[in-house]
Amino acid sequence: MPFAGLLALAVAMGIGRFAFTPVLPMMQADLGTTLAQGGWLASANYLGYLLGALLVTHLNTSPASLLRWGLWLVVLTTAAMGVDTHWAGWLIWRLLAGIASAWALIGTASLCIARLNASGQAERSGVVFAGVGCGITFAGLACMILTLSNTSASHAWLWLAAAALLGLVGASMLWRTPITEAPPQPAAAPQPAAAQQAATAKEDTKEGAPNAVTQAPPLHWGLILCYGVYGFGYILPATFLPAQARLLVPDPWLFSLAWPVFGIAGACSTLVASRLARRFARPQIWAGAQIVMAVGVLMPAVWHALPAILIAALCVGSTFMVITMVGLQEAQAAVGAAGAKRQMAAMTASFALGQLIGPIFFSLTHQWFGAPLEFALVMGTLGLVAGALPILRLSTRQPDAA
């Protein structure tokens, strides 16, 4: 099951969200896409990610359905990018891909965290969330090979869509198996009303069952706000480091290695974080990772050199999925299984809002006050450091027993 979750996140995030970064240079060379157009396409994906998360908070849809719909939509929109040649059409496909990625992430996290907790294998969540880094690495290496083979950008999108379809097939076991991993129990005497309600509530988490028996617990707003601050600080280097690297690295092949390295760091980090969870509480891991990320965000602002870019890529790449993993685990612990999907959706929406605000903040301060990129990076650093302090004070309870 963890490997199926890894494939699901590799497709949803590695291709649906992040494959655009290594394909963009190919689109610039083949199709004349400008940096401004690329920025709008990235913003459309960010907006779709926000809309997808907000829709989950209002949809009475099972995590399994969210995951299945999200992965299929990733495959279709990725293929559409290769078939369509109009920039206006690309905006629609990137918007829908963002919605799909949010659905697949929330569905995968809801299913996998609950199942691993139920089977006493919570530390294997690191394998699941390593899928994002694996997907980023795959997309980066695939685009390197396709570029060396003189493959067009349109064909690159189609190859990525084919890879996403294969990943979908491998991840399909997540919605074809029962929610719990516990062995079936023998038939017993009629249950009391309270026990019947609990059993019915568990059935409601399965695909197609309405969740009308129990009322969802209130949202944990401390987690939501902290997760949004993380999104603001993370997106600044994720958006602008590639542009800085292009100015400092004359060899395009050397620069193209930066994205796979970013992905490898992300894949390895979640496995390490799962081991750290044996000794440290999740809020401590989250806060520590956010401080490391802050160092990475600040580095290019104070040191204009290639080593600073590489350090920043490693610091951000090795922490962004750690924070995602422990943050969504905290969501499960904060509200229990009954409200986990809604809490994760709210946190994902907060993150998406933070990553929308980041580039807008830079653009406005640059346009109105002539503030350089370094100013935005410093503000992102301050936000990450300040946001790490309340994380250590977050209080969550243990997740509901499965």
- pLDDT greater than 50 at residue 167: yes
Question: What's the CA gap between 332 and 311, in Å, rounded?
Answer: 32
User: Among residues 16, 22, 15, 14, which one has the least CA distance to residue 38?
Assistant: 22
CB atoms within 10 A of CB 176: 10
- pLDDT greater than 50 at residue 213: no
Q: Check residue 241 and give its pLDDT.
A: 66
- pLDDT greater than 60 at residue 361: yes
Exposure class string for 350-385: b at 16+ Cβ within 10 A, else e: bbbbbbbebbebbeebeeeeebebebbbbbbbebbb
What the chain holds in terms of domains, given with CATH numbers, is: 2-178+217-391 (1.20.1250.20)
Q: Sign of dihedral through CA atoms 392, 397, 401, 402?
A: negative
| Mean pLDDT across 62-73 | 91
Q: Check residue 96 and give its pLDDT.
A: 96
Q: Check residue 348 and give its pLDDT.
A: 87
**Model confidence band, residue 314 (pLDDT cutoffs 50, 70, 90):** confident
CA–CA–CA angle 123, 113, 50 (5° rounding)? 125
pTM: 0.75
| Mean pLDDT across 143-168 | 92
174, 67 in Cβ contact below 8 A? yes
**Model confidence band, residue 252 (pLDDT cutoffs 50, 70, 90):** low
Higher pLDDT, 277 or 182: 277
Q: Check residue 189 and give its pLDDT.
A: 43
- pLDDT greater than 90 at residue 101: yes
User: Which of 101-110, 278-287, 360-369, 377-386 has the weakest average pLDDT?
Assistant: 360-369
**Model confidence band, residue 215 (pLDDT cutoffs 50, 70, 90):** low
Mean predicted lDDT score pLDDT of the chain = 80
3-state helix/strand/coil string of 195-221 = HHHHHHHHHHCCCCCCCCCCCCCCCCH
- Nearest 10 degrees: Cα torsion 92, 95, 96, 99: -170
